[in-house]
């Protein structure tokens, strides 16, 4: 049975807007499930003259042998999650020409270094392609086409990029988060424009670096914790000196989630005044730690799209983990998280847009991951339809959702 629904435009609480702008024209493999097709796309669209960033590789479908890589134009190929890379010798030569050194590129070969220095890595990949005003325009057009009005850009690469947002007025539709090093390098004025500090506590599922308690299948590998407890405490305490009262911490695996929550609880017990804390992704949070997070006033910033990891990563996750992923029903029904208040939603750009966000919210792999349309609206949409709205066509029996039209009120 088809029915129509109208919902407000989205507020995508976790995106990489500047990264998306830099990589707007890059070959994107997210929807390319056939390796030969991927290779011909890369050969047809990448320039021989410069380093090309290629995005969206899902390595549970395929990866490239060094022989295949060397036959491509100069490329740096990024995993869908930007936690895992491959590149060829031509790319090394071009990077040497452009930056005078291949040091950063070389280090992408070391997953441990990469995970510990992810903001540097993302900045390097953004610099390879560059951001400009025209690319920003195209990204915001693309966002609106997909039903997105507002975004949180989780890794601001530089003050120059921030200035570009401000000059074109897109700062009105964007909240900026910066890693500590970038933040400390900003001018006083720019610092005011940054909402909070972004920190990574573990890696991701793609390169098997998300810190989980059980090892990834058939391997004695439990992912990576970026910091020890004392380092984490130091970072959180430092926010007070920086006069920043918001922190956002990337935690995917249960080992990272529990480490971060334990550290925050310890600081609270000592009477330290905690910054407003957001945990990003938190895919494998247990009920016990969800209760503790709720008690500590932590906001969970989650991606309904990541419910599909329960299908993508059956090659590396046990049945227990596949079922534990994105347990929204436990968070809302058992622990009392409230969408829009302490449970907010975003895409992390994998992929962007209302259709995929709604599909994975309303028709996820497991019932435990299902959100109601009302919960979706509260946690994922701007508060009203003043800026515009999305007209949807939904068919619950066939599990189909289509955007009929995105209405932009500025054009009416």
Dihedral pair phi/psi, residue 272, rounded to 5°? -70, 135
User: Looking at 149-157, 294-302, 307-315, 317-325, which segment touches Zn ion (CB under 5 A)?
Assistant: 149-157
Please state the closest distance from residue 154 (CB atom) to Zn ion, in A.
5
Cis peptide leading into residue 351 (ω within 30°): yes
Residue with smaller CB distance to Zn ion, 28 or 348: 348
Please state the closest distance from residue 118 (CB atom) to Zn ion, in A.
9
Residue with smaller CB distance to Zn ion, 62 or 351: 351
Residue with smaller CB distance to Zn ion, 14 or 94: 14
- Per CB under 5 A, 152 contacts Zn ion: no
Residue with smaller CB distance to Zn ion, 18 or 368: 18
Residue with smaller CB distance to Zn ion, 15 or 259: 15
Please state the closest distance from residue 19 (CB atom) to Zn ion, in A.
9
Among positions 54-83, residues that touch Zn ion (CB under 5 A) are none
Q: Which tokens in the block code for residue 8? A: 């407000």
Please state the closest distance from residue 326 (CB atom) to Zn ion, in A.
15
- Per-residue string for binding with Zn ion, 332-351, x by CB under 5 A? ----------------x---
Dihedral pair phi/psi, residue 301, rounded to 5°? -110, 105
CA dist., res. 341 & res. 286, Å (int): 20
Please state the closest distance from residue 16 (CB atom) to Zn ion, in A.
6
Please report which helix (H) or strand (E) contains residue 107, including its range: helix 103-107
Residue with smaller CB distance to Zn ion, 12 or 348: 348
Beta bridge partners of 87: 76
CA dist., res. 340 & res. 173, Å (int): 18
User: Looking at 53-61, 121-129, 154-162, 200-208, which segment touches Zn ion (CB under 5 A)?
Assistant: 154-162
Q: Which tokens in the block code for residue 308? A: 């599909």
Residue with smaller CB distance to Zn ion, 119 or 365: 119
Dihedral pair phi/psi, residue 352, rounded to 5°? -80, 155
Q: Are 287 and 330 in contact (CB under 8 A)?
A: yes
Q: How many residues sit in the footprint of Zn ion (CB under 5 A)?
A: 2
- Per-residue string for binding with Zn ion, 298-337, x by CB under 5 A? ----------------------------------------
Please state the closest distance from residue 285 (CB atom) to Zn ion, in A.
17
Residue with smaller CB distance to Zn ion, 183 or 389: 183
Q: Which tokens in the block code for residue 177? A: 């988060």
Please state the closest distance from residue 51 (CB atom) to Zn ion, in A.
23
380 backbone φψ class: left, alpha, beta (φ>0; ψ -120 to 50): alpha
Q: Which tokens in the block code for residue 388? A: 């515009």
Please state the closest distance from residue 197 (CB atom) to Zn ion, in A.
14
- Per-residue string for binding with Zn ion, 347-386, x by CB under 5 A? -x--------------------------------------
Residue with smaller CB distance to Zn ion, 154 or 279: 154
Report the relative pairing of strands 246-251 and 276-281 from DSSP bridges. parallel
User: Looking at 40-48, 65-73, 153-161, 388-396, which segment touches Zn ion (CB under 5 A)?
Assistant: 153-161
The gap between the terminal CA atoms of the chain, to the nearest Å, is 31
Please state the closest distance from residue 82 (CB atom) to Zn ion, in A.
7
Q: Are 279 and 299 in contact (CB under 8 A)?
A: yes
Which 8-state DSSP code applies to residue 201?
-
CA dist., res. 283 & res. 325, Å (int): 5
- Write 133-140 long-range contacts (CB < 8 A, 24+): 133/164, 133/167, 133/168, 135/21, 135/22, 135/24, 135/25, 136/21, 136/164, 136/165, 136/168, 136/170, 137/168, 138/21, 138/24, 139/17, 139/20, 139/21, 139/24, 140/170, 140/173
User: Looking at 114-122, 148-156, 159-167, 371-379, which segment touches Zn ion (CB under 5 A)?
Assistant: 148-156
Please state the closest distance from residue 278 (CB atom) to Zn ion, in A.
12
Residue with smaller CB distance to Zn ion, 301 or 368: 301
Q: Give the residues lining the site for Zn ion (CB under 5 A).
A: 154, 348
């Amino acid at each position: 049975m088809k029915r129509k629904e109208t919902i407000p435009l989205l507020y995508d609480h976790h995106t990489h807007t500047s990264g998306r702008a830099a990589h707007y024209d890059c070959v994107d493999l997210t929807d390319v499930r056939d390796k030969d097709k991927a290779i011909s796309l890369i050969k047809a669209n990448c320039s021989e003259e410069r380093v090309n960033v290629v995005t969206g590789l899902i390595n549970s479908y395929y990866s490239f042998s060094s022989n295949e890589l060397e036959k491509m134009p100069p490329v740096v190929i990024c995993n869908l999650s930007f936690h895992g890379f491959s590149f060829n010798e031509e790319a090394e030569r071009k990077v040497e020409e452009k930056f005078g050194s291949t040091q950063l590129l070389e280090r992408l070969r070391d997953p441990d270094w990469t995970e510990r220095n992810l903001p540097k890595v993302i900045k390097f990949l953004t610099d390879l392609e560059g951001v400009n005003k025209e690319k920003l325009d195209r990204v915001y057009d693309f966002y609106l086409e997909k039903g997105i009005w507002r975004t949180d850009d989780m890794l601001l690469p530089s003050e120059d990029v921030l200035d570009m947002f401000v000059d074109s007025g897109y700062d009105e539709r964007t909240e900026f988060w910066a890693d500590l090093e970038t933040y400390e390098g900003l001018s006083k004025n720019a610092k005011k424009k940054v909402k909070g500090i972004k920190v990574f506590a573990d890696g991701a599922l793609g390169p098997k670096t998300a810190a989980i308690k059980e090892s990834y299948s058939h391997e004695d590998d439990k992912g990576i914790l970026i910091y020890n407890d004392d380092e984490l405490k130091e970072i959180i305490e430092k926010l007070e000196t920086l006069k920043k009262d918001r922190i956002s911490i990337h935690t995917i695996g249960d080992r990272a989630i529990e480490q971060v929550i334990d550290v925050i609880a310890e600081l609270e017990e000592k009477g330290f005044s905690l910054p407003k804390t957001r945990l990003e992704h938190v895919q494998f949070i247990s009920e016990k730690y969800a209760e503790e997070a709720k008690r500590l006033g932590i906001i969970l910033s989650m991606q309904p799209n990541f419910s599909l990891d329960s299908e993508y990563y059956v090659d590396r996750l046990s049945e227990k983990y596949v079922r534990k992923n994105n347990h929204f029903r436990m968070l809302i029904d058992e622990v009392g998280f409230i969408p829009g208040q302490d449970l907010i939603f975003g895409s992390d750009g994998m992929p962007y847009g209302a259709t995929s966000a709604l599909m994975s919210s309303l028709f996820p792999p497991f019932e435990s991951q299902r959100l109601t349309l009302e919960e979706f609206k509260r946690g994922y949409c701007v508060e009203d339809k003043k800026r515009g709205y999305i007209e949807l066509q939904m068919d619950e029996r066939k599990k189909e959702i289509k955007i009929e039209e995105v209405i932009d009120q500025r054009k009416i």
